[in-house]
Amino acid sequence: MKPNQNLHTRCRQAALGAAALIGLAATAHAGPTIAFGKEGSLTFNYSLQAWSQSRDFTSPTDAGKTTDFYLRRNRLTFSGQYNDLVGFYANLDAPGESRGGQDDRSVFFRDGYITIDYSDPLRFIVGRFKNTFTRENLEACFDPLTMDRAELLAYTPWGGSRDTGVAMWGNLADGMVNYRVMIADGREGNPVVKDGPRLTARIHVSLLDPETDYGYRGTYLGTKRVLTIGAAVDRQSNVAYGDSMGKTDPKDYKAWTVDVFYEQPTSAGTFTASAAVIKYDTDKVHFGLSPDADLPAGTDLKGHYVKLGYMLPGRVGPGRLQFFGRSEKSTYNRPLGYGDQKWNGLGAHYYIEGQQLKLSAEFTQVKFEVQNPANPAQRDYKQFTAGLQFIF
């Protein structure tokens, strides 16, 4: 092999390793790679999820049935290595394009950060990146078991899916133990009592094949035997006033989650199971004298989900077929009980070329504990979603 070919190979391997390490949207789906200097590299990815969705309401103000064609995710990713120690990742996104008639959506940086990999037990991420709280949020959105994550349960109220800050993480005991500690912005601005940092800690133990990346996958498509148990805590002090008008009754936020993931390939097919319990607690802030009008819906929320999957052992035509189901319950600690719901769905993926090219479909039934007469989105409804996923 010529020297320049050897250099290109090493740089490409470094870029692929970096993509696997951060475990985000482009996990293991590396596109074209350009080598720079002795250790540098840049990899490009384009990722698209095109959906058609029919449901029993149009919007929170329109009870008419609707069918909508839109781009659930539409991303251009740049990732690579500056040198053997420092890597980088940037992600441009225009999600929800054409959803509900909203065309020409703004393009923005969903992620932007650098990685510093001192050693396997000691790694750092600096910038804007995924919150390290729930497993489902950390599962790559282009490698899910079901069509998508929970609408709110997987996302923290302060920061959502991403936050800006610093994380220290790594693997111990030959990858059996994975830890993360994150300090980030959390909630900021005028509504907070005191602008302090948000602190998150997560740990998991892998009892079979290790999960050593910062992110996870919703399914490994039968390539690994996985049994991982994880737990996390999240907190920020003085995030809101119970009496926002009088600026009294300060509230602290705290949350916890416990989750388990199992995947077992067998001669009869691949079986997958995942479950989690999650609780977000801001001390019943919605029951205060004059609650902050800007409080996120998940400020006080508890719930759980169970996901099951089964992939047939051989090909069906040119691809692989995987069936899945999801059951989820969410309870919001808010007056009148609007929003409390049970969510059940069944569907299938047809993998033509792994996650790079697949077709998906899911039927969902959502039932609410209390029917909201003023909001069709908080009344019982059914939903059918079909999707095409492409990654380059």
What are the tens digits of pLDDT across the range 12-44?
Answer: 444 434 444 444 434 446 789 999 888 899 999
Q: Which of 78, 77, 73 is nearest to 48 (CA)?
A: 73
What's the pLDDT at 24? 44
- In angstroms, the CA 19 to CA 115 distance is 11
For 106, residues 6+ apart whose C-beta sits below 8 A from its C-beta are 94
What's the pLDDT at 29? 63
pLDDT over 50 (residue 104): yes
pLDDT band at 353 (very low <50, low <70, confident <90, very high): very high
What's the pLDDT at 165? 97
Domains defined for the chain, CATH in brackets: 1-53+70-107 (no CATH), 120-382 (2.40.160.10)
The tens digit of pLDDT for each residue in 112-122 reads 999 999 999 99
pLDDT over 80 (residue 388): yes
pLDDT band at 138 (very low <50, low <70, confident <90, very high): very high
Instruction: Decide: helix, strand or coil at residue 47.
Output: strand
Percent of the chain at pLDDT exceeding 70? 93
Work out whether the CA dihedral 342, 347, 352, 358 comes out positive or negative: negative
Computed on alpha carbons and rounded to an integer, the radius of gyration of the chain in Å comes to: 22
Q: Which of 322, 325, 392 is nearest to 351 (CA)?
A: 322
pLDDT over 90 (residue 10): no
Contact 86, 62 (CB under 8 A): no
Q: What is the mean pLDDT of the chain?
A: 91
Contact 71, 46 (CB under 8 A): no
What's the pLDDT at 147? 95
pLDDT over 90 (residue 3): no
Mean pLDDT of 268-272: 98
pLDDT over 60 (residue 45): yes
For 258, residues 6+ apart whose C-beta sits below 8 A from its C-beta are 229, 230, 231, 276, 277
Of 3-17, 173-187, 350-364, the one with minimum mean pLDDT is 3-17
- In angstroms, the CA 215 to CA 124 distance is 14
